[in-house]
Amino acid sequence: MKTMLILLAIISVSFSQDIGISKIVRVYDGDTFYANLYGVPSLFGDTIGIRLSGIDTPEMRGTPDCEKEMARASRDYLKKRLEGACKV
């Protein structure tokens, strides 16, 4: 709990500047992608996993083949949508 509070304090101080996506690294499935962000302390690493709020798509791991097929389709859709997004 103490570690979490310290982390929250670092985040609140560090995020006083603009934050944005500088590069989409990869799209994992229809609701999760990995990106390089600017304006985020290097404490969090270069590539950050981002899960879309309010969207739940089939998972790539641990699911039957028919669900994996749907997961691939949703991943491809998200990838296409992100490629067409505005760049900063």
Domain boundaries, the chain: 2-83
Sheet with 20-29: list strands edge to edge: 20-29, 32-38, 47-51
Query: Does this model's pTM top 0.85?
Result: no
Encode pLDDT of 41-76 as tens digits.
777 777 888 898 899 999 888 778 888 899 999 999
Structure token digits, residue 15 = 């995020």
b/e map of 4-21 (b: 16 or more CB within 10 Å)? eeeeeeeeeeeeeeeeeb
